[in-house]
Amino acid sequence: MKPIAGNLENRPVNKNKTPKIVIFGAGNIGRSFIAPVFTRGGFEAVFADVAPGILAALKERNHYTLVEKTDAGDTIHQVSPVRAVDARDAEAVARELDGAEICATCVGAGALPIVLKSIAAAVTSRKRPLDIILAENLKGAADLAKGVFEEAGIPASEQKERIGIIETSIGKMVPIMPVEVAAEDPLLSWAEPFNTLIVDRDGFTGRVPEIPDFMAVSPIAPWVARKLYIHNFGHAAAAYIGYAHKPEALYIWEVLENRVVAEDVEKAMQLSAAALHREYPGVFNADDIKAHVADLIFRFRNRALGDTVYRVGRDLPRKLQRRDRVVGALELVRKHGLDTGAALEVFQSALGFQAPGPDGNPDEKDREIVRAAHSGSAVDSADFLRNVVGVDIEKETELFDLLLNVLLKARKI
Q: What CATH number did the domain enclosing 292 receive?
A: 1.10.1040.10
Residue 385 has pLDDT above 80, yes or no: yes
Residue 1: its pLDDT value, please?
A: 43
Arithmetic mean of pLDDT, 372-381: 86
Query: Which residues are CB-neighbours of 291 under 8 A, at least 6 positions away?
Result: none
Whether this model's pTM surpasses 0.85: yes
Arithmetic mean of pLDDT, 270-277: 98
Q: Which residues pair with 249 in a beta bridge?
A: none
Q: Other C-beta atoms within 10 Å of 59: how many?
A: 12
CATH of residue 94's domain is 3.40.50.720
- When comparing pLDDT for 5 and 101, which is higher? 101
Please give the Cα distance from 317 to 364 (Å, whole number): 11
Please give the Cα distance from 116 to 51 (Å, whole number): 19
| In the chain, % of residues over pLDDT 70 | 96
User: Is 274 in the same domain as 398?
Assistant: yes
Which pairing describes strands 73-79 and 2-4: parallel, antiparallel, or unpaired?
parallel
Q: What is the pLDDT of residues 45-85, one digit of tens each?
A: 999 999 999 999 999 999 999 999 999 999 999 999 999 99
Where in the sequence is the domain holding 141, given as residue range(s)? Answer: 2-218
Residue 12 has pLDDT above 90, yes or no: no
Arithmetic mean of pLDDT, 191-200: 96
Please give the Cα distance from 97 to 218 (Å, whole number): 27
User: Is 89 in the same domain as 133?
Assistant: yes
Residue 401: its pLDDT value, please?
A: 97
User: Is 115 in the same domain as 261?
Assistant: no
- Among the candidates 189, 218, 247, a domain finishes at 218
User: Is 80 in the same domain as 22?
Assistant: yes
Arithmetic mean of pLDDT, 271-289: 96
Judge contact between 346 and 241, C-beta under 8 A. Answer: yes
User: Is 193 in the same domain as 229?
Assistant: no
Average pLDDT, the chain: 93
User: Is 234 in the same domain as 164?
Assistant: no
User: Is 105 in the same domain as 61?
Assistant: yes
User: Is 212 in the same domain as 337?
Assistant: no
- Among the candidates 172, 193, 218, a domain finishes at 218
User: Is 286 in the same domain as 347?
Assistant: yes
Q: How confident is the model at residue 209 (pLDDT cuts 50, 70, 90)?
A: very high
Cα R_g (the chain), whole angstroms: 22
Judge contact between 335 and 396, C-beta under 8 A. Answer: no
Residue 371 has pLDDT above 70, yes or no: yes
- Among the candidates 190, 218, 246, a domain finishes at 218
User: Is 99 in the same domain as 210?
Assistant: yes
Q: What is the pLDDT of residues 162-183, one digit of tens each?
A: 999 999 999 999 998 999 999 9
Residue 413: its pLDDT value, please?
A: 55
User: Is 147 in the same domain as 79?
Assistant: yes
Total of domains in the chain = 2
Residue 412: its pLDDT value, please?
A: 72
- When comparing pLDDT for 14 and 276, which is higher? 276
Residue 66: its pLDDT value, please?
A: 98
